[in-house]
Structures are given as structure tokens and as C-alpha cells.
Structure 1
Amino acid sequence: MFDAEITIIGAGVVGLAIAEKLSQHISQVFVVEKHPTFGQETSSRNSEVIHAGIYYVKNSLKAKLCVEGRDLLYDFCDRYELPYNRCGKLIVATSEEEIPALEQVEQKALSNGVTDLYWMTQEEIKAMEPNIFAVKALFSPSTGVIDSYWYLKRLETNSINNGVQFAYSSVVTGIEKQTEGYQIDLNDADGHPFSFTSKRVINAAGLESFNIASMMGVNDEDLTIHFCKGEYFRIQPPKHKLLNRLVYPVPSKDALGIHVTIDMGGGVKLGPDVQYLDTNQYDYTLTPSRRKAFFESTRRFLPFLEEEDLIPEMAGIRPKTQTKDGPPRDFYIREESLRGLPGFVNLIGMESPGLTASLAIGNYVERLLNGQNDI
């Protein structure tokens, strides 16, 4: 007899989506989270974009789960009357030399099943967003933004209504495989050690996911988490009113580039940049001196912008398995029976598009637990 049927480590958006899904059919689901409440790390420190599924490697988990998750997320928001804005996104070329890169973006999107992109001329761009500069653009009508707090809150509420028990301010200190199931050791909210047993365990610990996996001997070098910081700068009023949609440059090898994101409150911010941290420290400090770099990287398509219009907004950290100079990496989502760990599911490297894909990830983990590896 186990204390829990399933224990989920981590109450970010991925852990919450998995809890909400599994608790629809399974009782005795526990969620363990080291913070006092949900979504305190990557899930609340991001652009809050609902991605269309444009940029990811064909047939990757990121591509498939993003496209599936996008539609599920819009439906979920409609069902529970959660705030979102399906505002669309312009991916812009500011010179003729950048157009081939846009054509590559279009082909990648089509290979991922994203079929609603369309080209816009300079005149059409001006009619849609008169204050930006671009010679040509791709428009993605299925891209939007969401209020991530209310989305996470609804996932938590649904999970609680389904009987999920949450242990906040609880830090996992060890996991040990038993003859059947697993023993989980933790320090509770009062700092007291506590142990319980769980038939199955799901590691959705985000930035700590590699450390949790390592407790069970899953410590492959290519699963190492690299902390990648991204800062944001806000466009001060009144110039924030000059933009109504997301505006992205052509992507680079490492990232989508510093882009324009609107939020549900009407604000506009630029970011994130890419800063691989030397050590995996939780460094959310803001660097006002980076303002010039943000200005220089966006002035090509935001001609109205002046450096003084920008103020530091926030910083987040991505849990990347991709190294600083390495190629893009896919999500690692795997039930670890082949490692002798039946019922143990690792989710590692859950960066963007994790928010968009979260409901699809919940479905996928359910299938993995049922012995189905298809997506």
C-alpha cells in the first residue's frame, strides 16, 4: 500500500497541467513544491506568449506538443473564461537580405503543421502596425498572449477539486527505489524531515529537474540543465500605445531574438535576451546597463524608439539542456522503465514552448504512464 498513487515534483505550469490531467481519472495524486505557492520560477517569468509552433525542429516533441497544446490552451481559456488576447504576431524582415530567413521560417512552420501563416507587403504591414518598419513580414494569426497567473490558478483549482493534495514549501531531499514504487524524502514547510511512498513519480521540477533525476541515477551529461537568464525592458508610456501586436525579428541560432510582447494589461516589453550563467545560481537581478543593447537590437524595426524609453522590467531563467554554443535541444520526456525505474517519468529541459504545450504535455505523460509512447 502506497501513501500516494502518483507524486509530481514541481508546481510550475507543466507540473500543474499534469496534475490536472491525471487527477481526472486517478486518486491520491500529490504535488510537492519547494516554493510557498505555484509557478514561482520559469512559469511566471516569461513572455506569456501562446506560440503557434513555428520554429521547432520537425517531428520534435516541442513542435508536436506546441501545435497540439496551442489549440487545447485556447479552448481551455474559453471554457473557463480566462483572459487571453489572440493578437497575432509579425515576424519581420528589415532588409531584402533577411527575406530568405523568413522563407525558411515559413517552410519550418509548414513542416510542423502550422498552415495559417501568410505574407505581408510593406504596405500591408503599415496598415496593420503603422509604427514599425519592415520590408516584408510573415503574420501568424494563431499566436497570442495569456495571463499566466490565472491559467496556473485554474489548473491548481481544478486539481484541488479533483482531490490533488499540494505540499508547498517542501523540498525533496532524496528519492529511493523500493521493491515496488518509491520512497520520497523531503523537508516540510517547518523544515522537518518527512518520508512517504509513491507508486509512481513524475519529475517536473523545471530548473531542478536534472538534480531530481540525478537522485535516481539519471545523470546523462546531455541532460544537464544550464541556467540561461533572460532580461526584459518595458517601453514606457505613452509610446507603448504605438504597438498592438507581437513583433519578432528573424530568429537566430540560439533564440527567437529580442522581440516585442504585449501583455494583458496593455503594457509592452522587449526581451528576453540570452545570458548563459556561469553557475546555476538563481540570479534575477536586473542590469540597467543592458538597455543600450536592447535598444540597438530593436531600433531596426521600431524606428520610433529612443533608448530613454526603456526601463528594466524583470528577468527569468530558462532550464536549457542546450549548451551555449550547441544546437537546439528537444524536450526530454520519458518514462524510465528502460533504466530500471518503472513508473518514473522525467521531464527535463522544459523551456519554451512549455507554457503553450502544457496541456498537451499532460496528455502525453498520461499516455506514457499507460505504456503508450506515441504522440
Structure 2
Amino acid sequence: MAAAALLRQRARSGGAEAVWRAQRRQRSTFDVVVVGAGIVGLASARELVSRHPSLAFAVLEKEQELAHHQSGHNSGVIHSGIYYTPGSLKAKLCVEGAALCYEYCDQKGIPYKRCGKLIVAVEQDEIPRLKALYKRGLQNNVPGLKLIGTKEIQAKEPFCRGLMALDSPYTGIVNYKQVAQAYAADFQEAGGTIFTDFEVTNMEMAKESSSESEDGLKYPVIVRNSKGEEIYCRHIVTCAGLYSDRLSEISGCSSEPRIVPFRGDYLVLKPEKSYMVKGNIYPVPNPRFPFLGFHFTPRMDGSVWLGPNAVLAFKREGYKLFDFNTGDFLDAVSYSGLWKLVLRNVSYGVNEMYRACFLSAQVKQLQKFIPEVTVNDVLRGPSGVRAQALDSDGNLVDDFVFDGGSGDIGSRILHVRNAPSPAATSSLAIAKMIADEVKQRFEL
């Protein structure tokens, strides 16, 4: 009772607040804090703690569960690395990341299927592009690639029609949310701490610290959340996906590249029709358009996803057609880079909006590959939102973008502003690169 009375007295004088803050600092001081518990953030945290076991690491996530957004709303494909420019970082990381992903799943007993992928040419003018894609894949050291004809297409996919296809047997499928959760478990078992329901709203240098070293303040950076809670650290790494630009701006970084959210809506084959698809079936990509186009994707649960389309989302985490956030909408439509992208792809954008509204228009795209699919065979399915980085010229940013803040805090922050697709496939390889960058910048 005496202790309670003393606490109430201190509370009236502000003393309890000071005691709480001191205790909070002692409990929540870390060498490195990773903001964002998507698959890239968790893979990076896992890699960092394995390299630096004597340091204290934490992951901060604004949601109450891990891998809740892009990492939990993707197609689940383990890509093989065919599409990307030979010698590019994307190509290297995808090929390396796919191998690491399969190896990791084997180690952890995470189920996956190496069901393969066919990139199918249905028109004569697509064949030269398909052959060029084959050469690109070979240059990227993608294993097992070969060009096949009509009979071989039907041997692999009995309901698929095509003139020629690029067969990628190394492509697979997995539940990436399960993979991300395994990364989180590894991180915690190695001593890392994960805070959920911690939405970062501010990052600044501390005026005082609970602990000092010979070199000055040991934990000089304060990270605050929307509830006013504080965590003290030496360094910050942000892997914030859909909010990567906004978190960067908080610390004084450039406003570019800007994240513009694109929603992808899937259809789902009715269960009784799922026998029509064995593996992934993709179109030959058209270089005039920014996205891959409609494809067939089998899932680990036995379902088959069809799509997606690509339309501007009016909310950064807007998974439904009518989800709307005024700030997110104004942020997107006021950006000159978006309008430049739109003007270069007017016909594509109009067609995507039309297909988003009418099932028959989407099914028509699918019938190019499997003519037997009808409107009666499909249902509207889930959606995902892609954090597409755009520059002011309207170009899709395909490379990694690392950034730091300004002022004293700048040297203590690494923002991963763009971790390009296929980030989930490449997550373990990306994590190695981020860990290298962290070591170099922060001299860990």
C-alpha cells in the first residue's frame, strides 16, 4: 500500500512518468532497429543478428501480425530469374534467392511445389520475343530452361494452347507468409525482439540517453510510435514497403522515388475446374506495357489464381475496389511521375480499368491460353497492392534504392526505399546485400 501511495504521489508530481521513461529506455535499447516486418525486413533482421550475435536487434511492425501486406498478399511464385537484364542486380539476386529459398524450405520443412512455368506464345509475332527471353534466361544462369512446341506444351498442360513456350521447370510456389514467419522465429531464437502494433511516426536524435559510453551517447536515436512510446537505438534500417517513402521523408530524405500503389485483383478458378491447370502459365511479356499481364498461378492450397490486373489503388493498403483514403489518393494523383506514366500507357490503363469491372473481359484474356475457361468457371478472388516506386519522369524504378536521412541522424539510418519484385523470391539474397550495406554504413 505504501508503495502504491508513493507511486500516486510521484504521478502527481510527474515523478512516475520519469521512472516509467527510465525503465522503458532500459528495456527498449537496441543497437539496430529494423522497421517493417514484411518478408524483406524479417529476412534482413535474421541475417543481421546471425552476423552480429553480440548486438541487440529489434523489429518494429505497425500491424498486430507479421507479413500482413505485400508479403501476405502475393501470388506465392518462386521466380527463376528469366525476365531481368543480364548482369543486373535483379537477375543475380533472383537466381541466387530462388536457390536459397528452396534450400531454406528444405531445412525448415516448409512445403513448396516445384511445379514449373510455361511462358506461352499464342501469336506468331510473340515468338521472336520468346526466343529473346530464352537467351536472356540462359545468360542469367536460370537452370533447366528450354523452348518447346505445341505437342510438348499440351503434354505438360493438356488444356493450354500455344505455338511455342519457354519451359522453366525451376519455377515453384510456396506460402511466403509461412516463410516470413519462419524468418521471424529464427530472428527471435537468435535473441532478436519483435514489437508488433508499433507504428513508427517519428525518428530523432536524443538530447539525453539512459546509457553513455566513452564515445558519448550509446543509444542516441529515439524511435516513437503513434502511441507516444519510445525505443532508443544506435541505428535504424527501414524496410517499409508501401510506406517506405513516407518513413524516409520523416528523417529528412528526398521525396523521391515516390511509392504509388497499384492494386492487382485476382480471379479464382472454381475448385471443380482446378484440374485444368498444372503449373504456372504466363504470357510473353509485351515490352510496351509495364506489367506482366494475366497468368495462371496454382497455389499451395490447391486453388488456382488467375490474373492479376493492375489498377491504381486509392488507398495504400486498399485491397477492395472501393477502399479510399483521401491523403493517399491526393498523394498519388498530385505526383507528376504518375501522370507521365499514365500518358505513356493510356490504352493499357483504360483496358485494365475495363477488365477490373467486367469478368468477361478478364476471361477473354485467359481464353487465349485455355479456351475452355468460361465466365461460369471463375469467381472473384483476393487482391494485393504493389508498392511501385516511380521517379518524377514516370519511370518504374527497377533497381534498389538506399537512402539516409539528413543532419546528425542521417548517418544512423539506412532506408531501403525500393526492393524490387520479385523481392519475396530474392529475400534471403536481398538480406545479405542489406546486411553488407549496414555493415559498411554503420561500421558494425
Please indicate, yes or no, whether the TM-score normalized by the shorter chain is above 0.5: yes
Q: Distance in 2 between matches of 1:159 and 1:148?
A: 16
Aligned length: 367
Cα distance in 1, alignment partners of residues 265 and 309 from structure 2: 6
Distance in 2 separating the partners of 1:337 and 1:40: 27
Structure 1 residues 63 and 157, CA gap change in structure 2 (3 angstroms): same
Q: Distance in 1 between matches of 2:311 and 2:166?
A: 28
SS at match of 1:355: coil
Higher relative contact order structure (alpha carbons within 8 Å, sequence separation ≥ 6): 1
1:233 match: 267
| Maintained 8 Å contact 1:286/1:314 | no
Aligned with 1:18: secondary structure?
A: helix
- 2:284 is equivalent to residue 215 of structure 1: no
Q: 1:360 to 1:202 in 2, by over 3 A?
A: same
Correspondence 1:123 to 2:151: yes
The equivalent residue for 2:308 is 272
Q: Secondary structure at the match of 1:356?
A: coil
User: Tell me, what secondary structure is at the counterpart of 2:440?
Assistant: coil
Partner of 1:305: 373
Native 8 Å contact 2:70 2:385 kept in 1: yes
Taking the aligned partners of 2:228 and 2:405, their CA distance within structure 1 comes to: 29
- Per-residue CA deviations over 1:272-319 (Å, capped at 9, x if unaligned) read 111123x44422115973422321111100111001211111111000
CA distance in 2: counterparts of 1:209 and 1:32, whole angstroms: 14
- Who is 2:201 aligned against? 173
| Selected match of 1:346 from 399, 408, 415 | 415
> Are residues 1:49 and 2:77 paired?
yes
The answer to whether the Cα contact below 8 Å between 1:331 and 1:347 also exists between their aligned partners in 2 is: no
AA aligned to 1:44 is G
Instruction: Give the residue type in structure 2 aligned to 1:81.
Output: G
Letter of the aligned partner of 2:320 in structure 1? T
AA aligned opposite 1:6: V
Alpha-carbon distance in 1 for matches of 2:417, 2:284: 27
Supply the distance in 2 between the matched residues of 1:337 and 1:203 (Cα, whole angstroms): 11
Tell me the secondary structure at the aligned position of residue 370 of structure 1.
Answer: helix
Q: Quick check: 2:252–2:405 contact (8 Å CA) kept in 1?
A: no
Give, in whole Å, the separation in 2 of the partners of 1:215 and 1:143.
39
Q: For residue 36 of structure 2, what is the amino acid of its counterpart?
A: G
CA distance in 1 between counterparts of 2:205 and 2:363 reads 52
Distance 1:257 1:327 in 2: 18
- How far the C-alpha of 1:334 sits from its partner, in A, is 2.2
- Residue 251 of structure 1 corresponds to 285
Distance 1:110 1:315, change over 3 A: same
Q: Distance in 1 between matches of 2:131 and 2:309?
A: 24
Rate the CA distance shift 1:33–1:103 in 2: closer, same or farther, 3 A: same
1:359 corresponds to: 428
Q: CA contact under 8 A between 2:251 and 2:406: conserved in structure 1?
A: no
TM-score, normalised with respect to structure 1: 0.91
Between the aligned partners of 1:313 and 1:130, the Cα distance in structure 2 is: 24
- Whole-Å separation in 2 of the counterparts to 1:155 and 1:176: 29
| Deviation at residue 149 of structure 1 after TM alignment | 2.5
State the distance in 2 between where 1:343 and 1:101 align: 45
User: Which whole-Å deviations, capped at 9, do the CAs of 1:217-254 have from their partners, x for residues lacking one?
Assistant: 11243x10000110100011321111110000011331
- The whole-number CA distance in structure 2 between the counterparts of 1:70 and 1:164 is 25
Q: Deviations over 1:313-362 (max 9, x none)?
A: 11110001137994442243426389872242211233520100111111
Secondary structure at the counterpart of residue 40 of structure 1: coil
Aligned to 2:290, the other structure's residue is in SS state coil
Equivalent position of 2:47 in the other structure: 21
Residues 1:54 and 1:23: Cα distance change in structure 2 (over 3 Å): same
Distance, in Å, in 1 between the alignment partners of 2:403 and 2:317 is 28
Instruction: Please state whether the residue corresponding to 2:425 is helix, strand or coil.
Output: helix
Supply the distance in 1 between the matched residues of 2:304 and 2:391 (Cα, whole angstroms): 30
2: CA distance between counterparts of 1:99 and 1:281?
Answer: 37
Extract unaligned runs of 5+ from structure 1.
none
Indicate if the aligned counterparts of 2:134 and 2:147 stay in contact, CA closer than 8 A.
Answer: no
Check 1:80–1:54 CA distance in 2 against 1; reply closer, same or farther (3 A cut): same
Residue 31 in structure 1 maps to residue 100 in structure 2: no
Rounded Cα–Cα distance in structure 2 between residues aligned with 1:112 and 1:370: 28
Structure 2 Cα separation of the partners of residues 194 and 327 of structure 1: 38
Give the TM-score taking structure 2 as reference length. 0.78
Correspondence for 2:346: none
Task: Supply the distance in 1 between the matched residues of 2:321 and 2:402 (Cα, whole angstroms).
Answer: 35
| 347-356 or 142-151, larger mean C-alpha shift | 347-356
Amino acid at match of 1:197: Y
How far apart in 2 are the matches of 1:323 and 1:302? 37
Equivalences for residues 86-165 of structure 1 within 5 A: 86-165=114-193
Distance apart, 1:198 and its partner CA: 1.3
Distance in 2 between the 1:238 and 1:282 partners? 32
User: 1:335 touches 1:368 (CA, 8 Å); kept in 2?
Assistant: no
Counterpart residue identity of residue 256, structure 1: L
Higher mean C-alpha displacement, 307-316 vs 173-182: 173-182
